[in-house]
Structure 1
Amino acid sequence: MTTLIIGANGQIGRRLCQQCAAAHVPVRAMIRHENQRAFFEELGIETVRGDLGGDMTAVFTGCDQVVFTAGSGASTGPEQTLMIDLNGAMRAIDLAREQGVERFIMVSTRHTDPLQGPERLRPYLAAKRAADAYLTHSGLAHVILRPGRLTDAPGSGRIALSREEASGEDVSRDNVARVIVTLLKRQQLDHREFVLLDGERVIDEAIR
């Protein structure tokens, strides 16, 4: 079973690909530019060119699962937020469904209500809310991850699945990637949503 990673060259995506390579989980990295290929080839990971704002029809061929961990980035304006975080995600969901992908894992945000998030992030949060709803009603088996404030701290391998369990609002990108690897191995988990924060529960035990 091969998993397509959309957003493979991002901060979570690179960590995820490294961990998948170490765990011998077969993945395909979607890249936009040729100069991104070397990083993944050194890991022994297949790459395919695709663009959330352009052509990506062929990238799904032969893939059974999709991880969407792409984002327009904090420095882009509302136009890119709409094209990548909303329309790009919706197109990926449509193409996955059309090409018989079995499961779609979405890396989203903990803020399910854009008005509860920081004002400067509200367009992004609104786009993520709409994309999540589109996935939920797509008919695809899916998992939506709702990580808290992302950090570059080393992954502890321990998480919390609610604010009540957690000691703070943060989660390391390493831990997010580890959770995704666990989900890729546990294909029976679908139609689920997880809040994801750093905590005290061992990942393998928490994701059951």
Structure 2
Amino acid sequence: MKVAIAGGHGKIALLLARQLTAAGHEAVSLIRKPEQSDDVRATGATPAVLDLEHSTATQVAETLTGCDAAVFAAGAGPGSTIERKWAVDRDAAVLLAAGAQLAGAYRFVVVSSMGAGEGDPDSDDVFQVYLAAKGQADDAVRESGLDWTIVRPGGLTDDPGTGRVAVGDHVGRGTIPRADVAAVLVAVLEAPSTARTTFELIGGDVPIDEALASLPPGPPV
């Protein structure tokens, strides 16, 4: 499988690229800055310079040519403005979905957030807007013609992965190592049964494949 990863220089994306290539897949990591290319190549992935804040769906589709799947792992990041929450956490996700559809990369996975959709879009609080933007992006992806999966992790840590998680509609507050989020994304891409599902994700006691197998299947196309 050839997988495009948006936000390719982010912590989860770099872990994901390394895990995908180790599993025998091909990864193309979308980055904004050419100087990030060496970090991407070190994971085994191929860098592709593309700024989702200043691109068209056609340009995205051209970059995704030949890809089977796409993962949205981008984010405006801590300290960013309200405007960038909308521009990256919502608009860039919607743009990637449009480009993926044009390119025929129909398997589409979103790294969302626990609490997505619960924020106040009119708030002056950046985190409230972040949750609102994530929720609106998730809604737009669900309305696309893609085989989507929306993963909503809890608090992210840099602890070593355990390979064990808790998943479900509502799993309660908790944290999860980024390495385990990446491992879940790989497993989701390899599990067609997770298409058209949305689930929360935190660290837990159940092996990843077993946890994903426990999810109810998404609705048929």
Amino acid of the structure 2 residue aligned with 1:106:
V
Which of 120, 137, 154 is the equivalent residue of 1:131? 137
**8 A Cα contact 2:8 2:74, kept in partner:** yes
**8 A Cα contact 1:68 1:107, kept in partner:** yes
Query: 1:14-50: per-residue Cα shift (whole Å, max 9, x none)?
Result: 1111211222221111111111111222333212111
Identical positions, percent: 33
Q: Does residue 172 of structure 1 match 2:183?
A: no
- What is the root-mean-square deviation in Å for CA atoms of aligned residues? 1.7
**8 A Cα contact 1:162 1:197, kept in partner:** no
**8 A Cα contact 1:155 1:174, kept in partner:** yes
Question: CA separation in 1, counterparts of 2:171 and 2:126?
Answer: 28
Question: CA separation in 2, counterparts of 1:184 and 1:163?
Answer: 19
Query: 1:116-165: per-residue Cα shift (whole Å, max 9, x none)?
Result: xxx54011111001000000111211000010011111111000014876
Question: CA separation in 1, counterparts of 2:31 and 2:145?
Answer: 27
**8 A Cα contact 2:97 2:144, kept in partner:** yes
Structure 1 length-normalised TM: 0.92
1:70 matched to which residue of 2?
A: 74
2:103 matched to which residue of 1?
A: 99
Moved more, 180-189 or 137-146: 180-189
Amino acid of the structure 2 residue aligned with 1:114:
G
Structure 1 position 99, deviation (Å): 1.9
Q: What is the aligned length? A: 204
Q: After TM superposition, list the pairs within 5 Å mapping 1:52-201 onto structure 2.
A: 52-55=52-55, 56-57=59-60, 58-112=62-116, 113-114=118-119, 119-162=125-168, 169-201=174-206
Amino acid of the structure 1 residue aligned with 2:132:
A
Amino acid of the structure 2 residue aligned with 1:54:
H
Question: CA separation in 2, counterparts of 1:130 and 1:182?
Answer: 25
Q: Does residue 25 of structure 1 match 2:25?
A: yes
Stretches of structure 1 that go unaligned for 5 or more consecutive residues are: none
